[in-house]
Structure 1
């Protein structure tokens, strides 16, 4: 079963970390990624750009319209996500609890019950 582990944040939160804390956080994430890539349970780990770099695309009447940024109702945005493939929810929860940022912020665990044909993972 596949699960999506998601972490939220914002630019102000990231900027609140000292240079040493950022270095330690990256090292922790890299170790987490290596550990679960080696077990085959981590299918991908992705960090998103800051919300200021996002574009929104809408198609109306067959014409695409592109605007800057998401229209967030919250100060936090989806900052990073992991796709894991594990036997059951128990294992997914164990892995989610090891995400280094889970000690700083909450992480969400979403089951992925449907997969589109043609996925490469």
Structure 2
């Protein structure tokens, strides 16, 4: 098994790839989106591939070590881009191919009008974690 991080990026206000900002979705559309993600996680939990997930608030700051005293703090979380990391999921799967398959499936979460949003997900393996072989 190998662990991967799936980062959910929203662009704009935040707007998924389909172009409709989430703040313009109806309550039913938001509920359907969240239900899809919860059902996806529950299915992976049953298969043993789910590790953890969290949604992130849009507010945040950048902090950097500044020597002595209080470290400098700037606006964030992404002061120089329109991207917002809205949340993450950690999966533990047998192969990179399986990780890509699951990321593609999660990318199809419904958005405005119930249509898949085709959001970009950042798929990252955990550094220094070697895949384990179970027999």
Query: Do Structure 1 and Structure 2 share a fold, with TM-score over 0.5?
Result: yes
TM-score (norm. length: structure 1): 0.80
| Equivalent in 72, 76, 81 of residue 74 of structure 1 | 81
Note the 1:76-95 alignment, pairs <5 A: 76-95=83-102
**Count of aligned pairs:** 113
SS at 2:25 equivalent: coil
Deviations 1:24-67 (A, max 9, x none): 111111101111112221111111111xx212222212333253
Unpaired stretches in structure 2, ≥5 consecutive residues: 15-20, 111-115, 130-135
Note if contact 1:58-1:64 (Cα within 8 Å) is conserved in structure 2: no
- Cα distance in 2 for residues equivalent to 1:38 and 1:11: 34
* Pair 1:31 & 2:39 matched: yes
TM-score (norm. length: structure 2): 0.72
What is the deviation of 1:74? 1.3
